[in-house]
Structure 1
């Protein structure tokens, strides 16, 4: 939670600005007060996104979607102006940390708390689906644990159901957007870009219940491609889920959408939840108290954690340059995406941040600061001088074609993965030792698309810079725009990640002796296997 700074806005519409709750690569959320003194969370879009009519149209859809749903299980909309020079959406401020923040700060929940969570989520989804919507991004950071139960926030990528779409003339605008959900909590049909039904949200609910018991999604893998593959094909390990809830979670995680319970059926399976004066573990009360203290300090003019820039201004488009060099000092950035309204104020533990949280911070830092040209703790990588058009790739072939010239033996298609959408294309191919059955190589290709060549490359560069912050720079390769080494599973496994324009290749090789040299050879061949359309 931060002050807006002396040059920041004093009002947004009728609301007086008190501070900033969160800030991300697409906008920020302001803490404001209405004329009656009620606290309001105002989502404000970055100005250069406001100039994009497609993005503005999607924001109008978010406003319309948010207004459809009752505030009993969400954050009720108070006002909005999607046509303002800087579009904004004002919702009732909901006090409470996110499920993700609670688990990170205090550990997993007990069975009673998860039972209450499951019932609250089912009730929220019943209301969202009753309004003719599919949330599409149900994840721990979008679920708030409040004094009166569960609230589901962020309908930014929600879509109307098929019947509602026909009735309202929905154009499917989000299909061309590059934000389609969170891989660890997607449904199989969402991971494969198939048509969605409300059952997709029920699958996400099931993944969140496992996360509440274990600390992570049952499908989280070492990479996005691995995660998507597991969502579609793997049977999750539910051994940590208590017997009383395991069967329910298993039904929610059915690969076939028709086999999953509806929210109403889920409530019947869960049975009644005992009323309680205290809804959640004591850690939630502590986090709520810390949040109130921070708000009181901000409203009274006390010191904030850090000042932030004034209202965002447009950033001129430019071809992606080299990846960012390490900054002399870290730059404070919001903990997560802009829509984590209440969770942004939660107090974190004083110990070293967990690896998953560190990557979240790195990703948001890269997303915000790449756009503004400010350095963060990533690496300066080779190639792409300013003004040179980036290499551009339209697609990634499937494994039979893309692996022809990669010098590894033991090709086996059992874990092959190939997926394409309008905004991205993925391929993953593996090699196995015929004697031991162990994996000796895996190559992944990831193409960002859906924009112009520069826009696609900038998207890829942002994510790559964030990932590079956790790796070791790879210099003087002679190919690609930048590269870094990532830790392998063993001392004899090397993982090299290389970016060229809007394409990233990840080569993982188990090769005792000359592991890094072999990984370089594989990465170079893998990059050459994808035809560039320009650059």
Structure 2
């Protein structure tokens, strides 16, 4: 059995840019997380000097809520340090199982973390990267890990030096981004404020999206503190998140404020959390019983893969010690929200799906689509709109569609399309679904008499924005025109109001007109005799024209019968399906949070943080809501939001980040590597399509697809259609038609 510094190595837990992390035992039997530095970093004298200095400071930290540095040798080959090993879930996992924290629970957590930070600051250290992943909930309570020796935002190759930005977007203080000076203790208080807000609202106060977007909001916008338990919490966390570090309380002041409001019984002693802790401890015991890992070069990058028991442990310990890349597992959860045993490893061969037919077509353009509607499959590519037979791939009809934008099937016999010729106001056409022939089309709002002429240039972009979106319902087609709010469009078109037009779906006769506010339309929905229109006059911090996901703009509700405005719901643009006329419960994703909303009233029923920026199925199926991203697929309990299973070896099937996971006919479709290869979804090869059981996440069958480029997908009738680049392939399960 290998030893480093007198510690016997039990297993490799993971590795990253700095080196490797091992589970190890001291001579007395104490478990530690032993970190070895990569040889290429150890060879850098500057790195070794920083490592020496920061290890010395970190060893001075000694508190009940920190995982302290027990021993280290910066001069060894390789350099190493040993920290107390914490067996338990991450704070994010624990809160997900328990649900959003109440005010007393939040105060108890705030007091504990503030005490941990006070200990760190007393040693003249700054954590620099406090976030939920760096708080582990153990049998003895939450503990802060990885203080004093932080990695950069991009997992850099060296410990951070002066002037480098350290931390995770959403938790980085403004002064760290400005690089005015080395971050001090107030930067940790800022991160603590963001963390506490997240534990109640399920979202970061500075939103989600790309790192530049989140950092821009941190520097220039006020935090979103809606949903906190009362005005005193809003005021207090607002102070913690103040842009000026001098305006923030100290960690000691946070401790005093929170301690006066905490509950006597810690929430981490609730059964939902203790069940998670027990399972982490059991997984540790299993790993120890399995014996030491095969020997490998210290600090190396390509050591042998762990065995099956280690794979299971790696999933469990990813939050407790180190995030180990490349681990694929589906994890079911038991009825009380605690994690059950990991699902069987996906190393066995899975049933192979069958290719029904393949066809070469033009590439889907930006805004193009692949739509399954009843017994029709519509492909809108760079040049044409084509209707295919889903079962055979036979072309039913094809027509020129170079100026076509949105395509919306309406019932069994009509397809509505928006035409958006360059520089011209959009028009609308109704096609016969059986032949592709035009049944009726508009000439433009002014020629059709829906709106009086206001310009000597009829039909031009001066009158309407050059973009449009449509929806149908109650025998009415609603066409809403608008201008993009990207920088180029603002220079050429200026700021324009959105304009809504109602047409008789059968004849195309103009019914009504409504002029709205200045802004780009982000969503149009129909329910219960009403059209709901979401628009944003903010082009986003990157100037791309994409709306700000944290926009608090209203949702406008128009009556389908006459176009009259029934309501303007404050802040409703982020949830366009929630409006009068809608019914039931809807599910929404906004960045790294998923929430359930009573659609008729807009009341939030629950909100949960998730591990990635996701999209979700808008309605529940079998008591579950399914969430997907480019890196994972998961199922949440529709009633509580608790995670029921999670897979990181498959990802959402589709090219649009806002498309919900593809669920049809009792199958949840995903994309990922060939079963048995244990590749992660993020960065792994996109070998083919996976058909999952929505209830368990298990792969029912998988099949490879061909083609390179943008990926789009549709499903129906037990078939799944995948369009990659220019190749459209249709699959069915192994027990489907031959």
Query: What TM-score comes out, normalization by structure 2 length?
Result: 0.42
Q: Secondary structure at the match of 1:311?
A: coil
Could you say which residue in structure 2 is the equivalent of 1:341?
321
Q: Secondary structure at the match of 2:67?
A: coil
Is the aligned partner of 1:220 residue 2:207? Answer: yes
The alpha-carbon deviation at position 47 of structure 1 amounts to 2.2
The alpha-carbon deviation at position 229 of structure 1 amounts to 0.9
Could you say which residue in structure 2 is the equivalent of 1:267?
255
Which of 222, 242, 256 is the aligned partner of 2:244? 256
Tell me, in whole angstroms, the C-alpha distance in 1 between the residues paired with 2:89 and 2:278. 10
Is the aligned partner of 1:311 residue 2:298? Answer: yes
Could you say which residue in structure 2 is the equivalent of 1:245?
233
Tell me, in whole angstroms, the C-alpha distance in 2 between the residues paired with 1:97 and 1:140. 10
Which of 473, 478, 490 is the aligned partner of 1:410? 490
Q: Deviations over 1:422-461 (max 9, x none)?
A: xxxxxxxxx974542336966959xxxxxxxxxxxxxxxx
Q: Deviations over 1:89-147 (max 9, x none)?
A: 01222233221232355543333322111001111111111111221111111112223
Q: Does the C-alpha gap of structure 1 residues 290 and 40 become closer, same or farther in structure 2, counting only changes over 3 Å?
A: same
Task: Indicate conservation of the 8 Å contact 1:202/1:263, yes or no.
Answer: yes
Is the aligned partner of 1:92 residue 2:84? Answer: yes
Q: Does the C-alpha gap of structure 1 residues 46 and 348 become closer, same or farther in structure 2, counting only changes over 3 Å?
A: farther
Q: Secondary structure at the match of 2:162?
A: helix
Q: How do 1:382-461 and structure 2 match up within 5 A? A: 408-410=488-490, 433-435=495-497, 436-438=518-520
Q: Secondary structure at the match of 2:36?
A: strand
The alpha-carbon deviation at position 154 of structure 1 amounts to 0.6
Tell me, in whole angstroms, the C-alpha distance in 1 between the residues paired with 2:321 and 2:118. 23
Gaps of 5+ in 1: 1-8, 160-171, 316-330, 352-405, 413-430, 446-467, 472-484, 492-535
Gaps of 5+ in 2: 152-158, 303-310, 334-485, 498-517, 521-536, 544-628, 633-653, 661-738
Q: Number of aligned pairs?
A: 347
Could you say which residue in structure 1 is the equivalent of 2:446?
none
Q: Does the C-alpha gap of structure 1 residues 250 and 444 become closer, same or farther in structure 2, counting only changes over 3 Å?
A: closer
The alpha-carbon deviation at position 186 of structure 1 amounts to 0.8
Is the aligned partner of 1:185 residue 2:267? Answer: no
Could you say which residue in structure 1 is the equivalent of 2:122?
130
Task: Indicate conservation of the 8 Å contact 2:36/2:299, yes or no.
Answer: no
Task: Indicate conservation of the 8 Å contact 1:28/1:338, yes or no.
Answer: no
Q: Deviations over 1:129-183 (max 9, x none)?
A: 1111221111111112223333211124469xxxxxxxxxxxx961365x61111
Larger radius of gyration: 2
Q: Does the C-alpha gap of structure 1 residues 298 and 112 become closer, same or farther in structure 2, counting only changes over 3 Å?
A: same
Q: Does the C-alpha gap of structure 1 residues 65 and 221 become closer, same or farther in structure 2, counting only changes over 3 Å?
A: same
| Structure of higher RCO (CA pairs closer than 8 Å, 6+ residues apart) | 1
Task: Indicate conservation of the 8 Å contact 1:24/1:336, yes or no.
Answer: no
Tell me, in whole angstroms, the C-alpha distance in 2 between the residues paired with 1:339 and 1:444. 32
Could you say which residue in structure 1 is the equivalent of 2:372?
none
Q: Give the CA RMSD over aligned residues.
A: 4.0
Q: Deviations over 1:287-342 (max 9, x none)?
A: 2111111111122226x9x9896534379xxxxxxxxxxxxxxx999669989517
Tell me, in whole angstroms, the C-alpha distance in 1 between the residues paired with 2:96 and 2:122. 32
Which of 95, 110, 118 is the aligned partner of 2:110? 118
Task: Indicate conservation of the 8 Å contact 1:26/1:46, yes or no.
Answer: yes
Task: Indicate conservation of the 8 Å contact 2:20/2:299, yes or no.
Answer: no
The alpha-carbon deviation at position 410 of structure 1 amounts to 1.4
Tell me, in whole angstroms, the C-alpha distance in 2 between the residues paired with 1:409 and 1:97. 48
Tell me, in whole angstroms, the C-alpha distance in 2 between the residues paired with 1:136 and 1:87. 22
Could you say which residue in structure 2 is the equivalent of 1:350?
332
Tell me, in whole angstroms, the C-alpha distance in 2 between the residues paired with 1:442 and 1:336. 38
Task: Indicate conservation of the 8 Å contact 1:22/1:336, yes or no.
Answer: no
Is the aligned partner of 1:26 residue 2:195? Answer: no
Q: Does the C-alpha gap of structure 1 residues 334 and 434 become closer, same or farther in structure 2, counting only changes over 3 Å?
A: farther
Q: Secondary structure at the match of 2:170?
A: helix
Tell me, in whole angstroms, the C-alpha distance in 2 between the residues paired with 1:432 and 1:105. 48
Task: Indicate conservation of the 8 Å contact 1:23/1:334, yes or no.
Answer: no
Tell me, in whole angstroms, the C-alpha distance in 2 between the residues paired with 1:228 and 1:434. 29
Is the aligned partner of 1:233 residue 2:217? Answer: no
Tell me, in whole angstroms, the C-alpha distance in 1 between the residues paired with 2:97 and 2:25. 29
Q: How do 1:370-389 and structure 2 match up within 5 A? A: none
Q: Deviations over 1:452-481 (max 9, x none)?
A: xxxxxxxxxxxxxxxx9569xxxxxxxxxx
Could you say which residue in structure 2 is the equivalent of 1:396?
none
- Higher mean Cα deviation, 274-283 or 43-52? 274-283
Tell me, in whole angstroms, the C-alpha distance in 1 between the residues paired with 2:494 and 2:40. 47
Tell me, in whole angstroms, the C-alpha distance in 2 between the residues paired with 1:16 and 1:241. 47
Task: Indicate conservation of the 8 Å contact 2:13/2:23, yes or no.
Answer: yes
Q: Secondary structure at the match of 2:143?
A: strand
Q: Secondary structure at the match of 2:218?
A: helix
Tell me, in whole angstroms, the C-alpha distance in 1 between the residues paired with 2:319 and 2:51. 13
Is the aligned partner of 1:14 residue 2:28? Answer: no
Could you say which residue in structure 1 is the equivalent of 2:272?
283
Tell me, in whole angstroms, the C-alpha distance in 2 between the residues paired with 1:278 and 1:226. 34
Task: Indicate conservation of the 8 Å contact 2:213/2:542, yes or no.
Answer: no
The alpha-carbon deviation at position 88 of structure 1 amounts to 0.8
Tell me, in whole angstroms, the C-alpha distance in 1 between the residues paired with 2:208 and 2:299. 35
- Give the structure with the larger helix fraction: 1
Q: Deviations over 1:358-397 (max 9, x none)?
A: xxxxxxxxxxxxxxxxxxxxxxxxxxxxxxxxxxxxxxxx
Task: Indicate conservation of the 8 Å contact 2:130/2:192, yes or no.
Answer: yes
- Higher mean Cα deviation, 210-219 or 275-284? 275-284
Is the aligned partner of 1:487 residue 2:567? Answer: no
Tell me, in whole angstroms, the C-alpha distance in 2 between the residues paired with 1:107 and 1:53. 47
- Give the structure with the larger strand fraction: 2
Task: Indicate conservation of the 8 Å contact 1:188/1:232, yes or no.
Answer: yes
Task: Indicate conservation of the 8 Å contact 1:96/1:342, yes or no.
Answer: no
Tell me, in whole angstroms, the C-alpha distance in 1 between the residues paired with 2:122 and 2:6. 31
Could you say which residue in structure 2 is the equivalent of 1:80?
72
Could you say which residue in structure 2 is the equivalent of 1:139?
131
Tell me, in whole angstroms, the C-alpha distance in 1 between the residues paired with 2:319 and 2:76. 19
Q: Secondary structure at the match of 2:488?
A: coil
Task: Indicate conservation of the 8 Å contact 1:47/1:314, yes or no.
Answer: no
Tell me, in whole angstroms, the C-alpha distance in 1 between the residues paired with 2:160 and 2:17. 20
Tell me, in whole angstroms, the C-alpha distance in 2 between the residues paired with 1:138 and 1:200. 9
Query: What TM-score comes out, normalization by structure 1 length?
Result: 0.56
Q: Deviations over 1:20-78 (max 9, x none)?
A: 33332322221111111111111112222222333323322331231121142211222
